[in-house]
Structure 1
Amino acid sequence: MKIATYNVNGVNGRLPVLLRWLEEAAPDIVCLQELKAPQDKFPEKAINDAGYKAIWHGQKQWNGVAILSRNMNIEEITHILPGDESDMHSRYIEALIDGIVIACLYLPNGNPAPGPKLEYKLKWFQRLAERSAILLTLKTPVILVGDFNVMPTELDVYKPERWIDDALFRPEVREAFFNIISQGWTDAIRTLYPNKVIYTFWDYFRNAYSRNAGLRIDHFLLSPQIAKKLHSGAVDTHVRGWEKSSDHAPVWIKIDK
């Protein structure tokens, strides 16, 4: 089974890119982030015509997450991350697909830092940690997947010394990520490539993509039941070079069923 994540940075504006990649890569399950579309503007027909079922949680102009499935039913569990009833951001959606719980997330950026946005990010991380601890108690295998907006180590960022004070790399943010890992989750891509420089995001500015000045911020965290079935994975880096592409590239893993 091939499972992918892709921050599309606007699902309607970049729909041709998304559809081209879906046809080329043919993933079985796809998690999308940054739809930047209200609930009624998600391109469901185009996604269906491409061979995928979909559930989504939209939001006008910002955020938004979706889960796509090819030839498998999707049973939505929730589209709310528990812990803050006042939080109206569309950043989380959870579903059961073919016996696997898929939690698709778009974690807050947190900049400028320090400040209220960083505080919101850290609180969101804490809510995610509380939810992930509950998910680990399930007999069902679970994957936490999406744009975490964190580079866990210096290997995950081009010129890390320039990012020390950024909310994607601050010590407390990286600590929050590893606090979740320590519950028993496996970072799939880093497990497959423990010493390799791998990026999933390249800024639009300063020719970042052509210089490979990137960040690894899109992650798969696997529960123990499914971590042992991890087969392979990669970043479809070339997609970032397509015309009108997102600043992220799709990332995927394959698991043995």
Structure 2
Amino acid sequence: MNIATWNVNSLKVRLEQVLSFLDKNNIDVLCLQETKITDDKFPYESFNDIGYNSYWLGQKTFNGVAIVSKYKSIKTLYNFPDEDEEQKRLISITLPSKIGNICVICVYCPNGQTIGSEKYEYKIQWFKKLEKTLKNKLIKNNHLIVLGDYNIAPNDDDVYNAKLCKNQILTSEIERKLFNNLIGLGLFDAFRLFKQPKCSYSWWDYRKSSFKRNIGFRIDHVLISCSLKERCQICVIDKSLRGLERPSDHAPVIATLNTL
């Protein structure tokens, strides 16, 4: 199974890029963040035409998540359980496979804006809800994959300049602790299971020629349960799409899992 995550920063703008990415990389499941379109505008027909099922949770102008999959979901859930969350940031599907059902969760975690702000506090509380949700998911699902834009660079190796970025948004001690709390549940960062090139990032600001200068952060992650760790064959960041005309500011992260 080739499974990927990509913050597209507007699906309307980058639909053709997404369709091309699916085809060229033989992607089985793709998690999308910041679709920025309402449910009635989701282009499910475009995905259906190339053999994909679509599951989405939209929001005008901001946020929005979706999963497109070659396999049909046998259970689809939206946002946190028993909460009518205004911001659309989480969707999960359950897929059948030869190794058993696989729960795939797509997340667009809050940015937090600035340390100490109301948005930063919202980010902290949101991650606590995510931790509780994943803890319960792991009890019920042996095979779990949580993909998305986490808006956290977990370690100094995930930042272009650790000293300059120390205790800033995306790298603060509290944010990193929140991320490590998820790992502590029994999840693994698929990208770090393999030897990777130095200075590997998934997000570069549009400003100051950040991509050309590789001033980036690795904030898009694929977390997998212990049962899938040995089945993970590779995990890479596809930087080529960041170099396209009118690109997203994020690059896709792709993991290949042996589910046969």
What TM-score, normalized by structure 2, do the two folds share?
Answer: 0.94
2:239–2:251 Cα contact (<8 Å) kept: yes
C-alpha distance after superposition, 1:10-63 (max 9, x if no partner): 001111211121121120000000000011011111111232111000001100
Counterpart amino acid of residue 41 in structure 1: K
Residue 27 of structure 1 pairs with residue 27 of structure 2: yes
Query: How do 1:71-86 residues align onto structure 2 when only pairs under 5 Å count?
Result: 72-82=71-81, 85=83
Tell me the residue number matched to 2:14. Answer: 14
Tell me the residue number matched to 1:91. Answer: 89
Counterpart amino acid of residue 232 in structure 2: L
Query: How do 1:27-66 residues align onto structure 2 when only pairs under 5 Å count?
Result: 27-66=27-66
C-alpha distance after superposition, 1:118-137 (max 9, x if no partner): 00000001001101111121
SS of the equivalent of 1:54 reads strand
Q: Distance in 1 between matches of 2:201 and 2:185?
A: 25
Query: How do 1:130-145 residues align onto structure 2 when only pairs under 5 Å count?
Result: 130-145=132-147
SS of the equivalent of 2:211 reads helix
> Which 4+ stretches in 1 moved above 6 angstroms?
none
1:54–1:74 Cα contact (<8 Å) kept: no
SS of the equivalent of 2:68 reads strand
Q: Distance in 1 between matches of 2:162 and 2:206?
A: 18
Count of matched residue positions in the alignment of Structure 1 and Structure 2: 255
2:102–2:141 Cα contact (<8 Å) kept: no
Query: How do 1:1-257 residues align onto structure 2 when only pairs under 5 Å count?
Result: 1-70=1-70, 72-82=71-81, 85=83, 87-98=85-96, 99-193=101-195, 196-257=198-259
1:192, CA displacement in angstroms? 1.5
1:187–1:221 Cα contact (<8 Å) kept: yes
C-alpha distance after superposition, 1:48-89 (max 9, x if no partner): 12321110000011000001112x112343112137x35311
SS of the equivalent of 1:155 reads helix
Q: Distance in 2 between matches of 1:199 and 1:179?
A: 22
Counterpart amino acid of residue 189 in structure 2: D
1:112–1:167 Cα contact (<8 Å) kept: yes
C-alpha distance after superposition, 1:115-169 (max 9, x if no partner): 1100000000100110111112124300011000000001001112232343211
1:178, CA displacement in angstroms? 0.3
C-alpha distance after superposition, 1:89-128 (max 9, x if no partner): 1000011012210010000000122111000000001001
1:36–1:61 Cα contact (<8 Å) kept: yes
Distance 1:60-1:76 versus aligned 2 partners, 3 A rule: farther
1:171, CA displacement in angstroms? 0.6
2:79–2:85 Cα contact (<8 Å) kept: no
Q: What are the ranges of 5 or more consecutive residues in structure 2 without an aligned counterpart?
A: none
Q: Distance in 2 between matches of 1:6 and 1:186?
A: 19
What TM-score, normalized by structure 1, do the two folds share?
Answer: 0.95
SS of the equivalent of 1:136 reads helix
Q: What are the ranges of 5 or more consecutive residues in structure 1 without an aligned counterpart?
A: none
C-alpha distance after superposition, 1:167-213 (max 9, x if no partner): 21111000110011011111100121367431111111111111111
Q: Distance in 2 between matches of 1:12 and 1:29?
A: 19
Aligned-residue CA RMSD (Å): 1.5
Counterpart amino acid of residue 238 in structure 1: S
